[in-house]
């Protein structure tokens, strides 16, 4: 074989390997709540024509839509009227329509409010999500539906992902047969991980509804469960439920080249909760790289946001605001009260302090 042929074969092999590399950017959002004030605000934004939640997310829509995949925790039912907030949520369908319009692709549905409206609420929630083509995972109308759709397998950019979802409980409500809500149970989780592995995914992600509400640090039970899942093959773990941001953890698995990232709690996505730590949240983002050897996280970070509640048209409404100064858009577009500016500033300071090992990113 000539030198020219050897060089040609080398470069052909090099570019063949290079061509196999592909990336995927995935983002995760926390608790999509449905308090009564949110329902009333959406009705007001619609100006007498139903409900309009879209303005709430107007400053983040381009950011959400730019991700290859965007995942959110749906923490209210779509059970139909009468609509109500806490303690047993049912929001208008427009709530999820706005989330899809904003750029979200997947919905985690197993949480402590999954059974707020019983069998009818669970089944209608699933039906509404199916009707708009929104992929979801965590609750099911029956065993056959779960068997056919869980774990949720999604392929994008030639990267095959498997999604798992579990909740610690359902506020002492029990599902009616044949409905299923995925609950945290180590034996069942192990079975589901093995089922996911049988699909030969490149990456397994677990979205967990766990932890203690309003605590800024994860508890021992969260750490133990995360360790269990990581040791058994889960590659990334995302948490919800505490309604406040909790730290990022990293688990090192023997024989596995990359640490398993655990975002213990993303905080609220949008809600009417106004107390310190509860009035905002983060978007966790990760870029996956797949090559002929493995799929790994090559970049990760967070985007913080604050939920601004203000008066409009003689009532309350909402906007997600990025970390911006008073003279910067979009903040400069509002005549924000001093106490609101102080609350927003405090939220961003608290969040940054609680995530010292995570890179802060911008929506631009």
Output the pLDDT for position 6. Answer: 47
SS3 of 111, please? coil
DSSP state of 228: H
Token digits for 108? 């985690």
Q: At what angle do helices 186-197 and 220-231 cross, to 10 degrees?
A: 30
Output the pLDDT for position 159. Answer: 98
Rounded to whole angstroms, the Cα distance separating 251 from 122 reads 34
Rg (CA), the chain: 21
> CA 165, 169, 175, 178 torsion: positive or negative?
positive
Output the pLDDT for position 11. Answer: 45
Strands (E), the chain: 22-32, 69-74, 106-108, 135-137, 139-140, 152-156, 159-167, 180-181, 203-209, 236-240, 245-251, 260-266, 268-270, 280-290, 295-312, 315-322
Rounded to whole angstroms, the Cα distance separating 260 from 248 reads 10
Token digits for 131? 């009707």
Q: What is the pLDDT along the chain (364 residues), one digit of tens a residue?
A: 555 544 444 444 444 444 579 999 999 999 999 999 999 999 999 998 999 999 999 999 999 999 999 999 999 999 999 999 999 999 999 999 999 999 999 999 999 999 999 999 999 999 999 999 999 999 999 999 999 999 999 999 999 999 999 999 999 999 999 999 999 999 999 999 999 999 999 999 999 999 999 999 999 999 999 999 999 999 999 999 999 999 999 999 988 888 999 999 999 999 999 999 999 999 999 999 999 989 999 999 999 999 999 999 889 999 999 998 878 889 888 989 999 999 999 999 999 999 999 999 999 7
Rounded to whole angstroms, the Cα distance separating 251 from 264 reads 12
SS3 of 261, please? strand
Output the pLDDT for position 3. Answer: 58
Output the pLDDT for position 55. Answer: 98
Tokens 């949720």 sit on residue: 152
Output the pLDDT for position 4. Answer: 57
Q: Give which of 302, 290, 294 is closest to 261, Cα–Cα.
A: 302
Note whether 304 and 64 are within 8 A (CB): no
Token digits for 307? 């939920």
Output the pLDDT for position 150. Answer: 98
């Amino acid at each position: 074989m000539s030198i020219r042929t050897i060089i040609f074969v080398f470069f052909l092999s090099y570019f063949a390997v290079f061509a196999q590399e592909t990336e995927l950017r995935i983002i995760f959002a926390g608790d999509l709540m449905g308090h009564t004030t949110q329902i009333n605000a959406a009705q007001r934004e619609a100006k007498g024509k139903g409900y309009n939640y879209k303005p709430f997310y107007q400053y983040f829509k381009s950011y959400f839509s730019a991700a290859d995949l965007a995942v959110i925790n749906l923490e209210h039912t779509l059970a139909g009227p009468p609509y109500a907030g806490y303690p047993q949520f049912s929001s208008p369908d427009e709530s999820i329509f706005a989330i899809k319009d904003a750029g979200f692709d997947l919905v985690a549905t197993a949480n402590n409010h999954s059974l707020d409206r019983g069998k009818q609420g669970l089944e209608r929630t699933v039906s509404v999500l199916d009707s708009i083509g929104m992929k979801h995972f965590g609750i099911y109308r029956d065993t056959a539906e779960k068997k056919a759709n869980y774990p949720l397998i999604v392929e994008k950019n030639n990267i095959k992902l498997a999604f798992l979802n579990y909740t610690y409980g359902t506020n002492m409500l029990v599902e009616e047969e044949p409905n299923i809500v995925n609950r945290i149970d180590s034996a069942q989780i192990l079975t589901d991980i093995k089922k996911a592995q049988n699909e030969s995914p490149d990456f397994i992600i677990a979205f967990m509804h766990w932890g203690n509400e309003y605590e800024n640090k994860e508890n021992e039970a969260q750490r133990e469960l995360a360790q269990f899942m990581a040791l058994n093959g889960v590659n990334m773990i995302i948490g919800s439920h505490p309604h406040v941001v909790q730290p990022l953890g990293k688990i090192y698995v023997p024989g596995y080249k990359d640490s398993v990232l655990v975002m213990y709690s993303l905080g609220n996505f949008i809600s009417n909760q106004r107390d310190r730590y509860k009035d905002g949240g983060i978007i966790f983002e990760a870029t996956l790289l797949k090559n002929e050897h493995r799929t790994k996280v090559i970049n990760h970070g967070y985007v913080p946001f604050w939920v601004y509640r203000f008066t409009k048209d003689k009532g309350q409404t909402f906007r997600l605001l990025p970390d911006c100064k008073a003279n910067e858009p979009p903040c400069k577009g509002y005549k924000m009260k001093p106490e609101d500016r102080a609350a927003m500033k405090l939220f961003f300071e608290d969040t940054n302090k609680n995530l010292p090992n995570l890179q802060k990113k911008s929506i631009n």
